[in-house]
Amino acid sequence: MKNCSLSWGGHTRSASACSINNGVLTSATLRSGDCRHNVSMPSGVSGSPKSARRQYEGPTAELAHADTWLVTPFSETAAANRSLVGRLSDYHFAPTETARQNLLAENIADTKIYVMDNTVIDALLMAREKAKSNSDSHWKSTLGKDLYDNVLAVKKCILITGHRRENFGQGFIDLCTAIKQIAKAHPDWMLVYPVHLNPNVQKPVNDILGEQRNVRLIEPQDYLPFVWLMDHSDLILTDSGGIQKEGPSLGKPLLVMRNVAERPDALEAGTVRLVGTNTKAIVENVEEVLSDAAVYQTMSQEINPYDDGKVVPRIIDALRIRIEQNQN
């Protein structure tokens, strides 16, 4: 196939659970004369395999999977969907060599695997530039003047997210207790927590942290304001799989409040630490990272194992080459 062109289009991430199937799908279309070749590409934790496969139909429709590694246990629907989509895929764009080895161990053909880093970092860096281009008045209006001014003025700012089901109950009580201890020990620090709407999160967070003056409990944020908060924080404390990739790309040390590492590459690279939900472990690690300049510098300057922010063009080129080969 000669003189072919690949167009790239899709949707941005959606925060709505009911629209997630449409929100995560991205498509690529290869055209050459009368030929049209469609590739549907869900990324990472996607919607149902059926929705991914049905995005395009016909003999030239294929499924590609970005940020694929196939090792997450089936304890959550999203994790099961990720694994199932991977097994249906024609192309696998793995974020790291470790992910490639996981795919091979589960009998995915080596010819279908490409180590291409992670598309989310391309989007993150684009969002950071967009956030930087917005005026101070825009962010004062979006975040509220008080929050905006304080984030910029405090000695240290810690950004927190927490929503994992495995932490419901005592796990959230313990991690909130740790946050309160840190806040009381450092009244000149600010801890910003966009609180998930799940009642299992809302109750312990508000009961334990609601009266702590230097803990700001705010509503869940749209992506661009959240990127601004990440970019202006000194440390990120989270149980999110996605933020484990994003924080290090912004040069932010990151502590993961989970007992099992979903992304071991980041741990091996030194960009994140696994601290679980144990109150003492969280407090001690926060204190060490923010008080020891050498530790902070090491974590913030380690190379992110997931992306250099230029993966999308590489994926487009790989798809173009493979589809051309298949057509010839």
Q: List, for residues 140-166, the tens digit of each pLDDT value.
A: 999 999 999 999 999 999 999 999 999
Nearest to 190 by CA among 134, 237, 247: 237
* In a shared domain, residues 295 and 161: yes
The residue segments making up the domain with residue 83 are 5-117+308-323
* In a shared domain, residues 59 and 186: no
pLDDT interval class at 234 (50, 70, 90): very high
Q: List, for residues 24-46, the tens digit of each pLDDT value.
A: 335 555 544 444 556 666 655 54
Residue 263 located in a structural domain: yes
As a whole number of angstroms, the distance between CA 300 and CA 154 comes to 19
- Phi, psi of 71, rounded to the nearest 5 degrees: -115, -5
* In a shared domain, residues 189 and 42: no
**CATH code, domain with 283:** 3.40.50.2000
Torsion over CA: 123, 127, 130, 132 (sign): negative
Answering whether pTM is above 0.85, one says no
The arithmetic mean of pLDDT across residues 234-238, rounded, is 97
Mean pLDDT score across all residues of the chain: 80
Lowest mean pLDDT: which of 46-55, 66-75, 112-121, 261-270?
Answer: 46-55
* In a shared domain, residues 233 and 107: no
* In a shared domain, residues 145 and 39: no
Report the number of distinct structural domains present in the chain.
2
* In a shared domain, residues 108 and 202: no
Residue 328 located in a structural domain: no
pLDDT interval class at 106 (50, 70, 90): confident
* In a shared domain, residues 135 and 108: no
- Give pLDDT, residue 147: 96
Q: Which residue has the tokens 């992506």?
A: 223
* In a shared domain, residues 160 and 185: yes
The arithmetic mean of pLDDT across residues 71-85, rounded, is 60
* In a shared domain, residues 141 and 195: yes
Name the 3-class secondary structure at 115: strand
Exposure string of 171-195, with b = 16+ CB inside 10 Å and e = fewer, is bbbbbbbbbbbbbeebeebbbbbbb
